Amino acid sequence: MIAEKPSINMVPFIDIMLVLLTIVLTTSTFIASGRIPINLPHASHDPQTTMRTRVIEINATGKIFLDGTQLDEQDLKSRLAPLERSTPLMVRADKSLPLQRFVDVADLLKQLGFAKVAIQTETGSA
């Protein structure tokens, strides 16, 4: 009598892992992009950020959003004033936005003394 060697069938395990990978990749795509449609300008490389940041968005019409809530400049200033100055901020501005509107927001951040300010861009060519 020849005894069969016990073995584990790996095909169901691989199927489950592929399904989980698909779910993670699909979900991460939705989480990574913001809710407010903004065409980002392009940069030569993508900076890696690992800290949780507060997001300031400026859409093509010049409306300002802090973490998805629309504000005017005074409301933005009053919402940012109580935050610690070491709080990282991410500025997402539409590339068709007039430069002055962006400069106004950047100047406000400078006046408040925030040092960790990043500007989100897309990699690649325009």
Q: What is the CATH number of the domain that holds 51?
A: 3.40.250.10
Please indicate, yes or no, if residue 19 is contained in any of the structural domains: no
Q: Is-above-0.75 flag for pTM?
A: no
Kindly report, residue by residue over 86-114, the tens digit of the pLDDT. Answer: 889 999 999 888 888 889 999 999 999 99
> What is the span of the domain harbouring residue 99?
42-123
The counts of H helices and E strands in the chain are 3, 7
R_g over Cα of the chain: 22
Number of domains in the chain: 1
Query: Which residue would you say has higher pLDDT here, 10 or 31?
Result: 10
64 falls within a domain: yes
Residue 114 lies in a domain: yes
Q: Is residue 30 part of a domain?
A: no
Contact 76, 66 (CB under 8 A): yes
Alpha-carbon distances of 8 from 1, 3, 5, 11, rounded to whole Å = 22, 16, 10, 9
Specify if 27 maps to a domain: no
